[in-house]
Structure 1
Amino acid sequence: MSMNSRDALTTPDTGPRQVAMLYLVRAISPLHVGVGEGLGTINLPTARESLTGYPLVPGSSVKGVLRDHAEYRNLTKEEVWTAFGPDQTQAADARGGLVITDANLLALPVRSLYGTFAWVTCPFILRRFAADAAEAGFDDGVLETFRDLGRDGQQNPRVTDEACRLLAKGEGERLLLEDRPFGGVVRDPGVRAAGAWLAQKLWPNDEDRDLRAFFQARFAVLPDDPFGFFTRTALEVRQRVRIDRQTGTAAASGPWSEELMPAETLLHGLVLGRRTVFVPDGTPNDTRRKGPEDGPGVLRSLLADRPLLRLGGKSSGGSGRVHLRLVEPNGKRSAP
């Protein structure tokens, strides 16, 4: 007896129901993922979490960009379907093999009087990141480092050791971020360890060692409250005008403002692989079962050459250029 697509999804399987991988996003240029028109002073605000107000990129946006890239790379229909599901004409036949969570903020670049800028994060974000990394199978000591940095109630800014390039010279251990001074700075070996781990995942190649050192020297952990202040005030705001094609001057509709996550923003999320099926056109009796590792396998090959992706809107103005990297524990495959 043949098996249809719904039967295949419900048939017992001895393997895992799903697998999880961590992904990191680094913005190469400013990034705008909008929510339509705003009611405040910014006409086109960026998407934000409702509870924390932190900027984010919805998982649906990430998945849509990856599917477009898969089709651009001429992956087979079976590969695209396995990872992202069928198109609208066969949407009822099966689901996609990948679930992609929102890309949540990991570190925000903030202007610094010393060191050019800092990548700042906070305990709340590091706790959430450690939870995602644990779900993705990381169980080494570095997770304890992130959990320790993420302890609630931390009130002192923390930076790396003597390699830090953010501290004011000759004025004591102080940070000067935007127009705010921070005293009581602690040089924390945990920040060094966490920064080194992230740098290795973001810039894994030998020729990237200078970029890794640059990041580690500028990585800092702020208390939750001042970090939240920067997520509300330190994003990039651009003023734009529309040009009237007839006159070549600014249109009567007037200028508007756009909010963007700045270049060098870091985000993280999870990719979940799950079971699905593939039903070739017109051959329902040839249903092919797909396991939870098949979708991630397609994604690994898709990202193997570290493509430059375009995420969000305003791409015609150069916005939205990002690198997306899969990160997996030692012993598992990861995109190079």
Structure 2
Amino acid sequence: MFEQHAAVFLYAVSPVHMGAGQAIGVIDNPIQRERHTRHPCFAGSGIKGAVRHAWEALGGDQAHIGRLFGPESGSPSLHAGAVSFGDAQTVLLPIRSIKGGYVYATCPTAIERARRLLTLINIKPQWPALPAVAEGQCLLANPALLSGEKLHLEAFEYTARVSQELPKLAEDLASRALPDGEAYAFFRDKLKTDLVVLSDTDFAYFSEHATLVEPHVRINDKTGTADDGGLFYTENLPPESLLVAPLLASQTRTGNGKDNELPAEAVMAQVKTVIDGKLLQLGGDATTGRGLVVAKIVEGPNHG
């Protein structure tokens, strides 16, 4: 049983390609999405694998990899790992705006799912309840983003309502989700002012159609030139996106006797020390600088 509970926010600082492994549309290499919302997501197994792979490089003790994450395939010692990452769900997406460059867009469903996750680990964010948002309308905190009374995102125009409550949510989210330090001060401040709440329908549209889609060509190893018919398209989650995932820890279970096991508190402490505020690489295309995310861990109280 997992005794320690936390949430890990993942803030993209480069395009991220967590591949879906199959294509049913015009994009050859789409990203992972939830079936019911179509929001981008990261499989928990992919997050765990990336953390395991980078553990030693991030300063973790190599001797603890097996007991924390489980033994390697084919190992004579079989036991479950003590760390579990759940699937990461979308909280914010950057959407191009006529004013301000871009906004951090979200929707009531995304916010309430994040609130639910934090509440389940006994963190109760003091976020105001969001009113219903109709299609073609939005809530925002920063009137400077408006052209007249309208907000323009990509090629779309929205009737905007300035919310006096939204800055409270934005400030709390910025402090929880982004690391401390001068390097992230601009983005924390922008999130506090430029958070926009769209309807669930409009946000779902941007979730599918406002990602990065890049053409690539397959190079022939012998000629060094593009293969005929070698054009393909790869989708990436854009930088400045924010997702959140559950992080769970239990006592290690190596079977080597109680004296050699780590309690759940020590397991969680190790994971937090190694990855909190650190740069991780998730998904594919690592050699082209894809998949860079910053992790921020928010812990819940102990569970006995």
TM-score (norm 2): 0.90
The 1:278/1:55 distance shift into structure 2, 3 A limit, reads: same
Aligned residues: 299
1:314 counterpart residue number: 285
1:270 counterpart residue number: 246
1:154 and 2:130 aligned: no
Q: In structure 1, what is the Cα distance between the partners aligned to 2:182 and 2:80?
A: 39
- SS, match of residue 241 in structure 1: strand
Deviation at 1:270, TM superposition (A): 0.7
Q: Gapped runs of 5+ residues in structure 2?
A: none
Q: In structure 1, give the amino acid aligned to 2:175.
A: Q
- SS, match of residue 157 in structure 1: strand
Q: In structure 1, what is the Cα distance between the partners aligned to 2:143 and 2:113?
A: 25
1:11 counterpart residue number: none
Matches within 5 A, 1:287-298: 288-298=260-270
Maintained 8 Å contact 1:164/1:218 = no
Q: In structure 2, give the amino acid aligned to 1:186.
A: R
Q: In structure 2, what is the Cα distance between the partners aligned to 1:81 and 1:221?
A: 43
Q: In structure 1, what is the Cα distance between the partners aligned to 2:219 and 2:2?
A: 54
1:3 counterpart residue number: none
1:299 counterpart residue number: 271
Q: In structure 1, what is the Cα distance between the partners aligned to 2:289 and 2:102?
A: 22
- SS, match of residue 226 in structure 2: coil
1:223 and 2:199 aligned: yes
Deviation at 1:307, TM superposition (A): 2.5
- SS, match of residue 242 in structure 1: strand
- SS, match of residue 275 in structure 1: coil
The 1:211/1:47 distance shift into structure 2, 3 A limit, reads: closer
Q: CA RMSD in A?
A: 2.3
Q: In structure 1, give the amino acid aligned to 2:54.
A: H
Superposed CA deviations along residues 214-236 of structure 1, whole A, max 9, x for unmatched, are 22222111111111111111111
1:241 and 2:217 aligned: yes
The 1:285/1:56 distance shift into structure 2, 3 A limit, reads: closer
Q: In structure 1, what is the Cα distance between the partners aligned to 2:143 and 2:290?
A: 30
When you count strand as a share of all residues, which structure comes out higher? 2
Q: In structure 2, give the amino acid aligned to 1:157.
A: C
Paired-residue identity, %:
26
1:6 counterpart residue number: none
Q: Which protein shows a greater Rg? A: 1
Maintained 8 Å contact 1:114/1:165 = yes
TM-score (norm 1): 0.82
1:13 counterpart residue number: none
Superposed CA deviations along residues 24-53 of structure 1, whole A, max 9, x for unmatched, are 001111111112241211111111111111
2:145 counterpart residue number: 166
1:190 counterpart residue number: 165
Superposed CA deviations along residues 190-236 of structure 1, whole A, max 9, x for unmatched, are 22111111222204236643332222222111111111111111111
Deviation at 1:261, TM superposition (A): 0.6
1:125 counterpart residue number: 110
- Find 2:24's aligned residue among 39, 63, 73: 39
Query: Which protein, 1 or 2, shows the higher relative CO under an 8 Å CA cutoff with sep ≥ 6?
Result: 2
Q: Gapped runs of 5+ residues in structure 1?
A: 1-15
Deviation at 1:99, TM superposition (A): 1.3
2:190 counterpart residue number: 214
Maintained 8 Å contact 1:166/1:217 = no
- SS, match of residue 114 in structure 1: coil
- Find 1:25's aligned residue among 3, 6, 10: 10
1:101 and 2:86 aligned: yes
Superposed CA deviations along residues 229-267 of structure 1, whole A, max 9, x for unmatched, are 111111110001112233332112320001111111110
Deviation at 1:82, TM superposition (A): 3.6
Superposed CA deviations along residues 93-114 of structure 1, whole A, max 9, x for unmatched, are 3211111101111101111111
Maintained 8 Å contact 1:277/1:287 = no
Q: In structure 1, what is the Cα distance between the partners aligned to 2:153 and 2:213?
A: 18
Maintained 8 Å contact 2:133/2:139 = no
Superposed CA deviations along residues 109-145 of structure 1, whole A, max 9, x for unmatched, are 11111110111000011111001111122125x1x42
1:325 and 2:301 aligned: no
Maintained 8 Å contact 1:78/1:278 = no
